[in-house]
Structure 1
Amino acid sequence: MLFWVLAALLTLAASLAVMYPFLRGRRKVASGAQHDLSVYRDQLAELEQEMRRGLISKEDATEARAEIGRRILRLEQEDSPGSWTASGRTARAVATVAVLVVPVLSWSLYALTGSPGMPASPLEQRLAGDPAQATVEELIARAEAFLASNPDDVRGWETLAPIYARLGRYSDAVDAYRKTIELSGASAAREAALGEALVGQAGGIVTADAEAAFARALSLDGANPRARFFMAMARAQEGNAADARSMWNALAADLPEESPWRQAAHRAVAGLSAGPREDDQPGQKDPTQEDLAAADQMSPQARQEMIEGMVSSLDARLREDPSDTDAWRRLLRSYVVLGRQEEAADALQRAVAALDGQSAEATALIDYAETLGISRSE
């Protein structure tokens, strides 16, 4: 009941605050008229003094007195009760009704469509209710409240970490996995899950911290599929397509048909260009990690010219024939290897435009670019 009383008082106060300028409008006019009338009377008194001193002729004084008198009469007529026109009264009435209708209409709509009889449900009360009736957010809040009081509960952190990851709260997931490892020790599953959360936190890039976590997982269990998958992704993002392809194929071969990681490995291989092949034509090959290593014996200038020539040749060919999706993949990876993110983003834009934006080929190329850390918004 107290809530409704307070709500009514607040509504009334808000309505009066809006109506106040309309209610005091006539008073403002009257106050201004009185001031003007006082000024005109002072002007008449000054006119009489100037006439007695001979500073103004009698004819000019009579004329000025008549003009001031006309202004006084006009002002008194405007300030009279009858001067309030029908249009002015109507405008004020409409404004007043409009101000009053808003709260009345809103309260009526709430009474029809809302739930005024529903009891209050504070967060603390909801958290203490039946977990089966709680939302995911309430369950997370309940777990967080419990862990705030029991920070050494390993089971709580281990339960909450994957939930954070599924909800996209990767920073919280990273903290939770690290807390779990700190309290219960490292395991291949925990280190691999930490690495995946770090990849999510970095927007899909396998960072040095993530790769270190996957390496620790593989040192504990060399067959861990999660760690093997992301280590292959790290090789792909470095531009080493051959190693990435080999690692994903080996992963798929070691896993049963129903394994989700086997399916993920097949999809990754399908989206990965094969890199240099025997049937590659001269000038179509992009500089891979092996090419860069072989160029170590060259002078810096010669090495740079070689790499730039390969990339320029591939880029020029795609400007003439932009339908080759595999060539677009090689060009994107080349720019990433060279650290030229802006050119990579520009090439992606050109490729998507050439492949008709919404086509399956353009969508697949965008997905591949994301594995390399290339965004269309760059």
Structure 2
Amino acid sequence: MIDFWLPAGLLLLTALAFLLIPALRTRKRQAEEDRTALNVTLYQERLQELEAQRQAGVLDEAQLEAGRAEAARELLADTEGVQLRSSTLGGAVPLACALLVPVLGVVLYLHWGALDQLDQARELASRQPQSIEEMTSRLEQSVREQPQSAEAWYFLGRTYMAQERAGDAAKAFEQAVNIAGRAPELLGQWAQALYFAGDKQWSEQLQALTDEALQADPQEVTSLGLLGIAAYESQRFADAVSYWERLVAVLPEQDPSRQAIASGIERARQQIGEGEQSGAAVAAEGTARQVLEVSVSLAPEVQAQVLPDDSVFIFARALSGPPMPLAVKRLKVSDLPVQVSLSDVDAMMPEPKLSLFEQVQLVARVSREGNAIKGEWIGQLGPVSTSAGEVQTLLIDSADQESR
């Protein structure tokens, strides 16, 4: 603690100096005033002696006046340069303040200071962790002692990820988001932890988190990398290349992960080339029977309440079964009215697919936040046969009660 209390003591001594120096000067003035008072008393006694000698006939008037003048000159010489105090509080107040300043300083610091955090920082700096387990233990202790520290939760989440404890990391990143707000970097880390904790199964929550992160920061690296991984795992190799190329474009030249990402892009491109010939006929036949043509437009009363940049999610979902969309497209309000095609190509995940269901529900949602599962306006149509050849008309005309 010497490294803290020594500077604190020096600051207190500096403050006391401003208070005690005037007090010491006051004591010096007091001594001078006491000496002056003694000289005045002696002067008055000298005058009385001179008057007594005159009355006794020892001195005449001329000698009396000469003696008085001499006594006055001596008094002036003795009191020359002496300044009288203007206030009797000049000494008492600084002394009282000198006593109160250190006491109040210590009391106020113990109440509002951060001595516990200083101790913790000193402990972390003095003893470097020898293993990742020790680092984890320290960070867990930090969040127990400072549960409102978003930084501590964030680094704990990163440490959990390094230990492949994705479930614990997701909880830590969620705490950091709750404390620090929905910063793009935190959202990306949270989504990544959830993805690996869920056995690499994509979900609406992951899509919403990455959409929100990239809407706030189109160059958020964790979200771009995660979307590339998810696309590659679901064999959407073109999407994987697109996300990873965006990621490489924003990474520093010296970043060690650039080489690994470049290798992933090359593998994805090879997969695209190998699959073009072998899967062309099958894909054409499969999607020809499983394509839904959907015309989407806004009702007039809704059009007056939306913005051109508001996101529009058009998707098909099962009438009964998983709530996750079977096929989805994302547009903007400025693109409406529009006709789109929904098929297995637009699937978020490899399974389940649109072609596995005979009937689906069609939904179009307007979301100002860019959230696929939360919006302001919605249009729904269903049940619709997946083999229907005619264009399905979908009108966005209702307040989105599903998000409330």
Which of the five TM-score ranges fits, normalised by the shorter chain? 0.3 to 0.5
Larger Cα Rg: Structure 1 or Structure 2? 2
TM-score with structure 2 length normalisation?
A: 0.37
Greater helix proportion: 1
TM-score with structure 1 length normalisation?
A: 0.39
Greater strand proportion: 2
